[in-house]
């Protein structure tokens, strides 16, 4: 297993230099709360006959040399459409590409919009199965539309995007199925917040407080930018595996989708794996075969209401055949099916 990452512009960690004898996959992904570790673990566990390498899209933050450079870059972005921080990111990624193998049986990229066109062309030349996965809706990242033509196939978690762009539908997944633990009945959320969802969390916090429903909302965001009396602000990002263990101690999980988002977030599937109830504003969940109003409460922020009965009834187990369709194993097998004779 090979992990290509850096705190220096180019550092190769955990390199296995053995002669390639097995089919090979290159997984390219951002380091989003270490979720790539889970996906890598899925490939290693469920397809051990395939050698998997990883290249991360996360790069060290660019630091301006002085105030003059910051001002110069601001003007460059406006007048020349050039961003020194973006060019810095692309340069590091290209250096990582230089140390890849010449050929892979499949290259699977999450968030390919973070790569330059030159990098995408370079990667495409290394495989006959160049596959992208969009785990964000296209409406939030217009560049995703601009790069579709590079790929042999694009998967998306957003069914509406699939219908409009000819993508293949592939949901997010769950993998964590812990033993039952003593739980708190409060509504719990840990989430990345930005302006589009911040107001909705505020509204939900206010509603829950006024209706004497206990809750706990956590975020890594700076309280100086998005300050709320209903949110706890973390100093450090909680790694994904630890976050799942934290979620397991609460009975009801809150999922607030961005406006215009149709795809289901990881929270929906994580709750499924842990047999937790979930409150969400994403009405798309009602179209899925696992939807059960006893387990999933769909709320409307224009007329917010949460019946107390939702907290009083136990979680109803999901049919195991249906549930397994959304397990990490199924996600991995779908991706690997693009390699012939494996």
CB contact at 8 A, 55 and 15: no
* Full-model pTM: 0.85
| Topology adopted by domain 184-324 | Rossmann fold (3.40.50)
Interatomic CA distance for residues 310 and 18, integer angstroms:
55
The pLDDT tens digits for 215-262 are 999 987 665 667 888 988 888 888 888 889 989 999 999 999 988 889
d(CA 193, CA 252): 19
In angstroms, the CA 284 to CA 288 distance is 8
Return the structure tokens found at 216. Answer: 């706990």
Instruction: Give the pLDDT score at 198.
Output: 85
N-term to C-term CA, the chain:
18
Is the pLDDT at 1 greater than 50? The verdict is no
Structure tokens at 58: 């996360």
Quote the pLDDT of residue 186. Answer: 84
Domain spanning 2-172+328-336: which CATH class is it, in words?
alpha beta
Q: pLDDT confidence of 271, banded at 50, 70, 90? A: very high
pLDDT the model gives residue 224: 61
2: pLDDT strictly greater than 60: no
Q: What is the pLDDT of residues 285-328, one digit of tens each?
A: 999 999 999 999 999 988 999 998 999 899 999 999 999 999 99
Where are the chain's structural domains? 2-172+328-336, 184-324
Comparison of pLDDT for 253 and 92, the residue scoring more: 253
Share of the chain above pLDDT 90, in %: 52
Fold match between domain 2-172+328-336 and domain 184-324: yes
Give the 3-state DSSP-derived string for the chain, with helices as H, strands as E and coil as C.
Answer: CEEEECCCCCEEECCCCCCCCCCEEEEEECCCCCHHHHHHHHHHHHCCCCEEEEEECCCCCCCCCCHHHHHHHHHHHHHCCCCHHHHHHHHHHHHHHCCCCCCECEEEEECHHHCCHHHHHHHHCCECCEEEEECCCHHHCCHHHHCHHHCCEEEECCHHHHHHHCCEECCCCECCCCCCCCCEEEEEEECCCCHHHHHHHHHHHHHHHHCCCCEEEEECCCCCCCCCCCEEECCCCCCHHHHHHHHCCEEEEEECCCCCCCCCCHHHHHHHHHCCEEEECCHHHHHCCCCCCCCEEECCHHHCCCCCHHHHCCCCCCCHHHHHCCEHHHHHHHHHCCCCCC
């Amino acid at each position: 297993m090979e992990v290509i990452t850096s705190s220096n512009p180019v550092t190769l960690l955990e390199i296995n230099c053995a002669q390639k004898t097995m089919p090979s996959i290159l997984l390219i992904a951002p380091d989003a709360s270490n979720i790539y570790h889970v996906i890598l673990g899925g490939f290693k566990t469920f397809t051990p006959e395939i050698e998997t390498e990883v290249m991360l899209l996360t790069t060290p933050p660019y630091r301006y040399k002085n105030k003059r450079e910051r001002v110069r870059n601001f003007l460059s972005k406006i007048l020349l459409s050039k961003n020194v921080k973006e060019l810095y990111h692309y340069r590091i990624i290209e250096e990582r590409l230089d140390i890849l193998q010449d050929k892979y049986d499949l290259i699977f990229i999450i968030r390919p919009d973070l790569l330059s066109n030159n990098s995408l062309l370079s990667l495409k030349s290394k495989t006959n199965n160049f596959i992208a996965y969009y785990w964000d809706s296209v409406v939030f990242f217009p560049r995703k539309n601009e790069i579709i033509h590079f790929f042999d196939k694009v998967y998306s978690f957003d069914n509406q995007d699939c219908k409009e762009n000819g993508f293949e539908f592939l949901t997010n997944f769950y993998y964590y199925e812990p033993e039952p633990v003593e739980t708190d009945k409060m509504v719990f959320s840990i989430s990345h917040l930005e302006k589009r969802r911040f107001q909705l969390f505020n509204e939900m916090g206010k509603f829950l407080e006024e209706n004497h429903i206990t809750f706990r909302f956590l975020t890594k965001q700076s309280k100086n930018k998005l300050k709320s009396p209903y949110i706890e602000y973390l100093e450090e990002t909680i790694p994904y595996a630890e976050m799942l263990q934290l979620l397991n101690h609460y009975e009801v999980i809150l999922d607030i989708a961005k406006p215009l988002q149709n795809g289901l977030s990881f929270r929906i599937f994580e709750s499924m794996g842990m047999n937790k109830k979930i409150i969400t504003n994403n009405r798309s969940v009602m179209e899925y075969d696992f939807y059960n109003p006893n387990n999933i409460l769909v709320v409307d922020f224009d007329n917010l209401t949460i019946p107390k009965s939702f907290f009083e009834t136990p979680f109803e187990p999901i049919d195991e055949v249906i549930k397994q369709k959304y397990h990490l194993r199924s996600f991995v097998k779908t991706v690997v099916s693009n390699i012939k004779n494996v």
